[in-house]
Amino acid sequence: MSRKPDILLVEDDRDLSSVVATRLSESGYAVRTAFTGPEAMSAVADTLPDLVLLDIMLPEMDGLEVCRRLRADHPLLYIMMLTARSEEMDRVVGLEVGADDYLTKPFSLSELVARVRSALRRLRLTEEVLDGNTPTDKTTIQAGHLSIDPVRRVVSMNGNEVALTVLEFDLLYYLARHPERPFTRMQLLEDVWDLHYEGYDRTVDSHIQRLRSKVEMDPGNPGLIRTVWGVGYKFVVPDKS
């Protein structure tokens, strides 16, 4: 990106918003702020940002509803939830309504910047592939009912296109490119998320669960994305026979 990446920070704590916005600005990003759910929706409608940092606890319209609406209108928009809630279910629900990732408060500003940088790098690579500016394996992967087109970044089930976020596609494609190879959660965090932090295993699990709900014929008994107990996950191509 030749211009500064545009980040929309949605946080109702104005002191925290100011601190985070200042740090992101110092790191080279253009930052806009919103303090309520409706303000966030209006800001996105005015100018589509490259990335949204979205607090869950917002006045007038909570972050989960904002995320749900944004995801419906903008499938490729990268949304990172910010939450002070410690309950696992809140984070899982955030991912289920369409968030790409989450960061739990309190967080260090250095980690936040690293996570933002990683997400924007992934988005830039995605844009380059779609524009044809980056060489990529043009071979479509066929696995039973599932088809993965890396050039158009399109996934289809029995010929019907499946709506995936940028991160969901990257995770599925990464696993499918290495069939039968087990990956630990940390390996997936490093290779797909481009993160090098311990303690985010549940992020991987939540994305795998959501991905299965979209690409498996029977998500409760997955045939493509298998759990390797004690290790992590692997992709299995069904036997054509």
Tens digits of residue pLDDT in 17-62: 999 999 999 999 999 999 999 999 999 999 999 999 999 989 999 9
| Closest CA relative to residue 11, chosen from 26, 29, 24 | 24
> How big is the chain, counted in residues?
241
Classify residue 8 as exposed, middle or buried by CB count within 10 Å of its CB (0-12, 13-18, 19+). Answer: buried
Mean of all residue pLDDT scores within the chain: 86
Mean pLDDT of 81-106: 73
For residue 25, the 8-state DSSP code is H
| Closest CA relative to residue 5, chosen from 179, 177, 122 | 122
| Closest CA relative to residue 78, chosen from 104, 46, 44, 110 | 44
Task: Read off the pLDDT band of 76 (50, 70, 90).
Answer: confident
Share of the chain above pLDDT 70, in %: 86
| Closest CA relative to residue 13, chosen from 53, 48, 41 | 53
pLDDT digits (tens, 9 = 90+) for 133-153: 554 567 889 998 999 998 888
What domains can be seen in the chain, in order of their start residue? 6-131 (3.40.50.2300), 141-235 (1.10.10.10)
Query: Dihedral, CA atoms, 54, 58, 62, 68, nearest 10 degrees?
Result: -20
Measure the CA–CA gap between 87 and 85, rounded to whole angstroms.
6
pLDDT digits (tens, 9 = 90+) for 95-132: 777 788 888 888 889 989 988 988 888 777 766 555 55
For residue 192, the 8-state DSSP code is I
Given a cut of 80, is residue 71 above it in pLDDT?
yes
CB atoms within 10 A of CB 106: 7
Higher per-residue pLDDT: 106 or 11: 11
- Tell me if the pTM is above 0.85: no
Q: Are 101 and 203 in contact (CB under 8 A)?
A: yes
